[in-house]
Amino acid sequence: MVIKKLKAAFLILLMVGVTASQPLFSSNRKVREAVDNSLVVAVKQYRLMAEKLKSQAGIVPKSFDKNGVLITSDAKWWCSGFFPGTLWYLYEYSKSAALKSDAELYSERIKGEQFTTDNHDVGFIIYCSYGNAFRLDPKADYRNIIVNAARSLSTRFNPIVGQIRSWDWGKWQYPVIIDNMMNLELLFNATKFSGDSLYYKIALAHAEGTLKNQFRPDASCYHVVSYDKMTGAVESKGTFQGFSDASSWARGQAWALYGFTVAYRETRDPRFLNQAIRIANFLLNHPRMPKDLIPYWDFDAPNIPNALRDASAGAVMCSALIELSGFATNKDSKRFLKAAETQLLTLSSPDYLASVGENGNFILKHGVGFFLRNSEVDVPLTYADYYFVEALMRYKKLSP
């Protein structure tokens, strides 16, 4: 009976499309026009990018450095699924056969990662690409790839700790990063596709453990929590990419917002909705959040207001807020959607949106990857593009 209900819920998700929520309709003409313009630019940029790399087998774009050099990676890089995933979204928007062909080609390049067990990013890699592929073209092969990837990811779950392990390196005994919340969508959907409740149970346990151990009283989150793998006790709480152990790394807060919104969508557990709303309030009410709602790379960066903004954090947050607006009560719903509209306008402005043929054919400028190591700082990033296009598509579906 449980599995039948899960399959029925999945059918509803397919009918609704990008999100299972029921947000407010938007009648903001200025935002709708900005969204349409950004999607037109995105299609042109990614067609150019896809053509540029088509002859380089196994390669996907990663970033574009300040010297004008396109940075690429193979399928192993944690971001490899974002480019094909964005191509699928742009195919959904444009109905272009050429874009569908591009999406299929670049998805095929990362297909082998369905069997990866040595990192937690298989969720990012496979679900952002093949999750969208199956949603738009529900082939059995795509479904099987998703289930295989979930099986691989599940090998990293320790039932004593109750969490999916993030890294196999570093000073931590059993590190779990907030980014892991983004990989649960793969597991939730693998249960729908396979009928095996194990994946759902692992995702639920991970969300519950993260809720219990990863947050401060103000709803900000630690980047890394390490556990004793023999007892499951918390060993340490801190950061790897943020400014300090006590700081609020912006993209980490955005991952948390998005992850708990998805966890609520898939479980309807009110604890997860409450946490998503608390995170949203922390972000939107933060005294160091800029008025245009594109955050500094860390809310506690010492040189604010001169610290770099992170378009990737803004894009993730924007996409999450649009979906969350469909789950929140009326007052919060309007507030979250209005905030997302502000972010869409900002990211669609010349300050962040690239001109066609520039920015290495990426869509957004000014992403911040790993500031403290001077890695991918103030450059375009494939995940910034992915969540921006997802936000554009989610918003477009709100239009009357």
DSSP letter, residue 223? S
- The whole-angstrom separation of Cα 55 and Cα 116 is 25
**Beta pairing, strands 60-64 & 70-73:** antiparallel
Q: Phi, psi at residue 112, to the nearest 5°?
A: -65, -20
Q: Which two tokens stand for residue 144?
A: 């099987």
C-beta separation of 339 from 321 below 8 A:
yes
C-beta separation of 92 from 393 below 8 A:
yes
Cβ neighbours, 10 Å, residue 328: 21
Find the helix packing angle between 29-53 and 97-109, rounded to 10°: 60
Write 283-292 long-range contacts (CB < 8 A, 24+). 283/253, 283/254, 283/257, 283/317, 284/335, 284/336, 284/339, 286/248, 292/342, 292/343, 292/345, 292/346
Distances (CA, A) of 248 to 309, 343, 346: 14, 20, 22
Sequence-separated (6 or more) residues with CB below 8 Å from residue 345:
30, 31, 34, 292
**What positions carry a catalytic annotation?**
121, 179
